[in-house]
Amino acid sequence: MANIHLFLQGKGGVGKSFCCAMLAQFLMDARDIHPLCFDTDPVNATFAAYPAFNVSRIELMEGDTINTRKFDAMMEQLCALGEGDSAIIDNGASSFIPFSRYLLAGGVPAMLQEMGHNLFINTVITGGDAMEDTMLGFATLAEKFPDSSRLIVWLNPYFGEVVYQGKTFEEFPLYAEHKSKIDAIVRLPELQAETFGFDLSAMLKDRKTFQDAVYGGEYTLMTRQRLKITRDKIYGQLSIIPTL
């Protein structure tokens, strides 16, 4: 039985590829699992730019439709995963609707379940101006995908705290409505922009992993220390998810 993590969100630029990279690193560093990674984003192949993850770039879209042959080839690899394996698929905001519809129309969630695999739908919710759009993306996924497809929600405070009228995400009516389908909530840390946030942004720009940055010699001692603290905060959130 394998764990297949699909990252979907209809709003672009909210940290979806960042979350893919964090999950891939956690599995490699903390679980000694080297996930099978795909980047299907037709516009920004950020996940594929990381050398450490050996990501396969799959150009699934042909105009507004899915290329069946390429989709089928990817599914063959996913279905061939064995016990204890994991996969991560990063999908772009521009292909959110056609890709989601194609998965559901083809009965992919049910097929994976019948094969003994676990399908996790990961989505990002942000604060700030993008919160309404990301909440809409979350609601769409929760309503359309079957209960067998478990949800993992990543709360990203980069654009602002995920709070509405003084209420946290777990107090939102939308959360209460779909709570039974949510396996886990990952709270990304809010980082001081001048220090921790600056260092993490530089690491991401260089397409380096925490392993590269913390144990390599390119960054200063205190930069490595701050990145280590950031890594431990993120890994700490992921380590309490029993299904990872």
Cα–Cα distance for residue pair 230/199, rounded to 1 Å = 10
Asked if the structure places residue 200 within a domain, the reply is: no
What pLDDT shows up at residue 7?
Answer: 98
CB 242 within 8 A of CB 150: no
Q: Once rounded to an integer, what is the mean pLDDT over residues 50-57? A: 97
Q: Where does the pLDDT of residue 83 fall: very low under 50, low under 70, confident under 90, or very high at 90 and above?
A: very high
Asked if the structure places residue 174 within a domain, the reply is: yes
Q: Where does the pLDDT of residue 22 fall: very low under 50, low under 70, confident under 90, or very high at 90 and above?
A: very high
What pLDDT shows up at residue 125?
Answer: 98
Asked if the structure places residue 204 within a domain, the reply is: no
Asked if the structure places residue 176 within a domain, the reply is: yes
Question: Backbone phi, then psi, for 184, in 5-degree steps?
Answer: -160, 155
For residue 8, which of 31, 38, 35 has the smallest C-alpha distance? 38
Q: What is the pLDDT of residues 120-163, one digit of tens each?
A: 999 999 999 999 999 999 999 999 999 999 999 999 999 999 99
- Which CATH number is 113's domain given? 3.40.50.300
Q: Where does the pLDDT of residue 209 fall: very low under 50, low under 70, confident under 90, or very high at 90 and above?
A: very high
Q: Once rounded to an integer, what is the mean pLDDT over residues 164-187? A: 96
Asked if the structure places residue 143 within a domain, the reply is: yes
Asked if the structure places residue 238 within a domain, the reply is: no
What pLDDT shows up at residue 110?
Answer: 95
Asked if the structure places residue 82 within a domain, the reply is: yes
Q: What is the mean pLDDT of the chain?
A: 96
Q: Once rounded to an integer, what is the mean pLDDT over residues 65-76? A: 95
Residue 193 one-letter amino acid: A
Cα–Cα distance for residue pair 222/156, rounded to 1 Å = 25
- Beta bridge pairs of residue 37: 88
What pLDDT shows up at residue 185?
Answer: 97
Which residue range(s) make up the domain with 24?
3-190
**Is the pLDDT confidence value at 64 over 90?**
no
Asked if the structure places residue 112 within a domain, the reply is: yes
How many domains does the chain fold into? 1
pTM of the model: 0.97
